[in-house]
Amino acid sequence: MKFHHRRLLKVEPSGPSPPLPSPNTAGSKGSYLSDSDFDTDMVVILAVLLCALVVVLGLNLLVRRTLRRRSEEQVEAPLAPTVTGLKKQVLRQLPMVVYGPRANISETECPICLGEYVEGEKIRVLPKCNHGFHVRCIDTWLVSHSSCPICRHSLLEP
């Protein structure tokens, strides 16, 4: 970078003044920036921008890989074994009662289908919580679940 020093000249009033240089002449000693200075500055600016772009793209790649690894680690983590429903042998062992005046069931309707119990209908009563259901309704539920649909008490626990 060139520094231009300003020189003050003593002007003598007795002589013709020299002609001033034209401001439009490129490359003259009086201009502040020459073409080569402008080209050098542009090269430096473009180099800095290119370096910044490379750094930003590198950081972006690093963050994306880190996030991908974390998500893969979470997927690869062993899941807790899911509890499925009861087997048909176990379903047949659950007690059934016939709905009527002698049956000791406080509900008057099935909580699954919301249909009312009819006298003489078979009701399956779950042993641990004493909730009653239509046999067809609770058997369908217990094929895919192992808990009471009302209180969620597990039927697999000893």
On whether residue 10 sits in a domain, the answer given is no
123, 98 Cβ separation under 8 angstroms: yes
Predicted confidence (pLDDT) at residue 48 exceeds the cutoff of 60 = yes
Q: What is the dihedral of CA 11, 16, 18, 23, to 10 degrees?
A: 100
* pLDDT, average across residues 83-90: 79
CA angle 40, 42, 47 (to 5 degrees): 95
What is the average pLDDT value for the chain, to the nearest integer? 80
Beta bridge partners of 125: 132
Number of structural domains in the chain: 2
User: Of 22, 45, 79, which marks where a domain is finished?
Assistant: 79
On whether residue 150 sits in a domain, the answer given is no
* pLDDT, average across residues 74-95: 74
Residue type, 79: L
Question: How high is the pLDDT of residue 12?
Answer: 66
On whether residue 14 sits in a domain, the answer given is no
* pLDDT, average across residues 61-85: 78
The whole domain housing 107 covers 88-144
Q: pLDDT tens-digit profile of 26-44?
A: 444 545 556 677 788 899 9
pTM: 0.47
On whether residue 63 sits in a domain, the answer given is yes
Instruction: Give the integer Cα–Cα distance in Å for 23 and 5.
Output: 18
| Judgement on whether residues 105 and 62 belong to the same structural domain of the protein | no
On whether residue 61 sits in a domain, the answer given is yes
On whether residue 11 sits in a domain, the answer given is no
Q: Residue 102: which pLDDT band, with cuts at 50, 70 and 90?
A: confident
On whether residue 113 sits in a domain, the answer given is yes
